[in-house]
Amino acid sequence: MNAKTEDMVDRYLEAVAAQLPPDEREDIIAELRDLILSRIEAKEEALGRALTDDEREAILKEIGHPLVVAARYRKGPDSLIGPELFPYWLYGVKAGLLVLLAIAGIGLAVRLVSEPANFGQDISQAFGGWFSSALTLIGALTLAGAVMEHNGIRPKWLTDWRVKDLGAFGLSDPVTWGVAARTAGERARSAAAAGDAARPLWTPRPRVHRSVSGEAAFSAIASGIFLLWWVGALQFPGLGVMRVEGELVDVTPAPVWAALFVPILFYALGQLGTDLFTLVRPEATRLRAGLSVLMAAAGLWLVWAIVGAEHWFTLSVGAEQARIAGDWVLLDFDRLHDLRAQERDLVGVASTLSLIMTWGLAFTAISLVFRALGDVWRVLRG
Average pLDDT over residues 363-367: 89
Greater pLDDT, 19 or 182: 19
Give the list of residues 6+ apart from residue 176 with CB closer than 8 angstroms, or none.
170
Q: What angle do CA 266, 272, 278 make, to 5 degrees?
A: 135
Predicted confidence band of residue 323 (pLDDT cuts 50, 70, 90): confident
Proportion of the chain above pLDDT 70, given as a percent: 70
Taking Cα atoms as reference points, which of 135, 123, 126, 220 lies closest to residue 171?
A: 220
- 3-class state of residue 238 by DSSP: coil
Proportion of the chain above pLDDT 90, given as a percent: 8
Taking Cα atoms as reference points, which of 99, 177, 179 lies closest to residue 136?
A: 99
Q: Is the pLDDT of residue 28 over 60?
A: yes
Give the list of residues 6+ apart from residue 204 with CB closer than 8 angstroms, or none.
none
Q: pLDDT tens across 200-224, in order?
A: 544 444 444 455 666 777 788 888 8
What is the reported pLDDT for 121? Answer: 63
Q: Is the pLDDT of residue 100 over 80?
A: no
Average pLDDT over residues 21-38: 88
Predicted confidence band of residue 328 (pLDDT cuts 50, 70, 90): confident
What is the reported pLDDT for 150? Answer: 72
Predicted confidence band of residue 298 (pLDDT cuts 50, 70, 90): very high
Q: Is the pLDDT of residue 333 over 60?
A: yes
Q: pLDDT tens across 124-175, in order?
A: 666 777 777 777 778 777 887 777 777 776 666 566 655 555 555 555 555 5
CA distance 129 to 46: 64
The reported pTM is: 0.56
Taking Cα atoms as reference points, which of 114, 62, 24, 86 lies closest to residue 352?
A: 114
Element (H, E) at 210: none
- DSSP for 239-298, written as a single string: TT-EEETTEEEEEEE-HHHHHTHHHHHHHHHHHHHHHHHHHH-TT-HHHHHHHHHHHHHH
What is the reported pLDDT for 265? Answer: 94
What is the reported pLDDT for 262? Answer: 94
Predicted confidence band of residue 357 (pLDDT cuts 50, 70, 90): confident
Predicted confidence band of residue 194 (pLDDT cuts 50, 70, 90): low
Taking Cα atoms as reference points, which of 29, 31, 34 lies closest to residue 12?
A: 29
| Cα-Cα end-to-end distance for the chain | 79
CA distance 155 to 216: 14
Q: 104 φ, ψ to 5°?
A: -65, -35
Average pLDDT over residues 171-185: 52
| Averaged pLDDT of the chain | 76
Q: pLDDT tens across 236-248, in order?
A: 766 666 777 667 7
